[in-house]
Amino acid sequence: MQTQTLLVAVGGALGSVARYWLDGAVYRLLPATFPYGTFIVNVTGCLAFGLLIGVAGDRLTLGSPARALLLVGLLGGFTTFSSFAFETFTLARQAAWTLLVMNVGGQVLLGLLALWTGVVVGRTIGGAA
């Protein structure tokens, strides 16, 4: 297996476990009336992503192995929302407002539509109404 792929796999496993633990801890502490666990995971992931990019941009170059392990693997397994936020932030810094709106609106609206479509198709295939 290629080293980069292995780093992504290891980071992804660690990130997924961290998400599971944090999400579970939040749901034990807060009521289930709002998706607090997902909310906190996404915000925490964005903070961690920003810190890594901020440090790398100001002090050192985040090499390809570190990027594979930390950004793609660990934080990708923890939450892909951090990647979405960073890419949207990058479009804002480039003043690419049309692309920013397309990215945010498209991912949110099309994501919800795709989820709904998947539920309908899945229920149809599975025989549930």
- Report pLDDT for 30: 94
> pLDDT per residue over 14-61, tens digit each?
999 999 999 999 999 998 888 899 899 999 998 988 888 887 765 556
CA atoms within 13 A on the CB side of 36: 12
Token pair 């945010």 in the structure block, residue: 104
Mean of per-residue pLDDT scores for the chain? 88
53-78 mean pLDDT = 81
Domain segments of the chain: what residues? 3-95, 97-129
CA 91 to chain centre: 17
Beta strands in the chain (DSSP E): none
CA distance 70 to 62: 10
Task: Report which of 50, 20, 15 is spatially closest to residue 38, judged by C-alpha positions.
Answer: 20
